[in-house]
Structure 1
């Protein structure tokens, strides 16, 4: 889903092309390795259900279902090992982030309005978010147009990576000069 695109959908990542794409959509990269790993997982889930039923079929210390239980357990280990290896080699190593698309999505996220609260208040931040959403523009653009903060202040306040750290974005930390 994250690689849906290239010009529509989320488009946050690009998957390596493993086989020719869609017969009706030239240039499309099918996520065949991710789909393969999903199939492996579903197969293992089915094996696990069989293992559970076999375990329940035991009577006292005798379980005549042990051969099937062992077979499904070993098969699950084998297909998981092979599936993960193939996925890692033919998909994961080739995944590339679409940095510009991720940046664009982050900059237009209404979640960034939370960082505005300490500076312009909840009510103003909510209005900024509503207007940005209605107009299809960034929070930054609306805040600048309204003159609530300067571009330099917004660089610090609306920095998505800063939101992953404790504290208030754009505020000076204790002990800094």
Structure 2
């Protein structure tokens, strides 16, 4: 992934574009609480840990390492992303999480549909419900200011001109982390990881 990130970073620079550092690239399986609501406190982690354990124990949870195929960067609204082809493992994780969240008394928002979502029982008033994305992706660029049409065209041209070989990424770990810096700009260290699954 670092090679793919480097190719994008050196091929295109616009002042209004912020290209994520390679070490921050990640795929979100489920957002337990958006960073805009603040990082999870210890009592929230205590509520979530048995839910994550229950999801991992379900027969639908992946039984081993899996692979994702990384596609070329594309512009999607206010960001540029790498989309991944899922071999079914992330869909299986999300299905397991959906079931475990429901069993615990919550309902996850899915994709853009938040109409039936509700937080786990015991969640503080006003805290958002969990969210299951409906795509598998890594954000690689965000605009720091409203881009001009010429900036957008430059981005599209740069992405189109970048030669791209699909990249396979082996995945053997999923983690629940404390996002105390927005957009997952956190160290990959034990202090930020409070739950994990290893294939």
Q: TM-score range by the shorter chain?
A: under 0.3
Which has the bigger relative contact order, CA under 8 A and spacing at least 6?
2
Q: TM-score, normalised by structure 1?
A: 0.22
Higher strand share: 2
Greater C-alpha radius of gyration: 1
Q: TM-score, normalised by structure 2?
A: 0.20
